[in-house]
Amino acid sequence: MITVASLAPYLGGALVLGGVAVAASRRRELLIRWCAWAVGVPLVTAAFWWGRPGTAVLALVVGVIAVLEFGGLVGLGRADQVVLAAAVVSVVLAAWLAPGQVVRVAGVGALAVAAVPLLAGDAEHGLRRLGAGLLGLAWLSLPAALVPLGASALALFVAVSIADIVAYFAGRRLGGPRLSPLSPAKRWSGTLAGAAAGLAVLAVLSSLSWPMAIAVAVGGPAGDLLESMVKRGVRTKDAGRWLPGSGGLLDRIDSLLVALAVLLVLR
């Protein structure tokens, strides 16, 4: 059975090897990204090491930040963002404290999100606010899956991250047909190479199973395209600007979120 303790040496080794590669490349943007990873990976690992309370706290922080970024992207007002954040927090807490009530809590959250534009009587923008709020609830509540999945979610995070990196560089090197008009820079060649790399990582981590494989190979790219669709719809390049070299948090976890959803469904 995979544990956080068994994953920690691999994470540390990957950081060291990545640091060596970045130093050899002498590219400033890669160095900035590596520094962000060097801070973030130990914090994430520590949260998982703490167990369910740690992953719940991590999911709460990620969920609230993601809501703020998403709300800014799609132009949700303060009331919409507050209610959406409260709904996401409630789903995460339910996943931790009352797993059997997650669906019910999510349903109540959806009603609360829908009530905001309805009570405001917003005939002009109400439909847009309603759609954005429900999408946000379904999408940004997915960090709650970290709580029941535990170390499997950490292994998924590693595999999806490596797959993203390989897909980016392989696509630029190999070229070929575009993956989707939603993301013209991405190529099928890169996506397939990234999927192969992700599956190899799962095998090394002793986490390879058909649900995990589909989550990485299908869910990861789908998550990236989902955020691309949202950003293209509002003509924005990044979800935020506060994360060094990476834009916003959503720009880093978009693939992971849908991969988590796929894994939950298949498990």
Number of domains in the chain: 2
Cβ(137)–Cβ(108) below 8 Å: no
- Region of residue 217 (phi > 0: left; psi between -120 and 50: alpha; otherwise: beta): alpha
DSSP state of 178: B
Residues in the chain: 267
Determine the pLDDT at residue 47: 94
Nearest alpha-carbon partner for 243 in 63, 36, 42: 36
Same-domain status, 108 and 208: no
At 171 the pLDDT is 87
Whether 218 and 98 map to the same domain: the answer is: no
Give the per-residue pLDDT at 172. 83
**Contact call for residues 168 and 251 (beta carbons, < 8 A):** no
Looking at the DSSP bridge assignments, the partners of residue 187 are 178
**Is the whole-model pTM more than 0.85?**
yes
pLDDT of residue 24: 79
Token representation of residue 31: 């160095």
pLDDT digits (tens, 9 = 90+) for 180-231: 888 888 899 999 999 999 999 999 998 999 999 999 999 999 999 999 999 9
Are 178 and 235 within one domain? yes
How many other C-beta atoms can be found within 10 angstroms of the C-beta atom of residue 131?
A: 12
Low-confidence ranges of the chain (pLDDT < 70): 1, 244-246
Which residue, 97, 113, 148, sits at the end of a domain? 148
Residues 198 and 260 in one domain: yes
**What six digits make up the tokens of 221?**
């790219």
Locus of tokens 């979610």: 153
Whether residue 212 is found in the same domain as residue 241: yes
Which of 148, 166, 193 terminates a domain? The answer is: 148
Q: Is 240:247 a contact under the CB 8 Å cutoff?
A: yes
User: What pLDDT does residue 245 have?
Assistant: 63
Domain that holds residue 81: 51-148
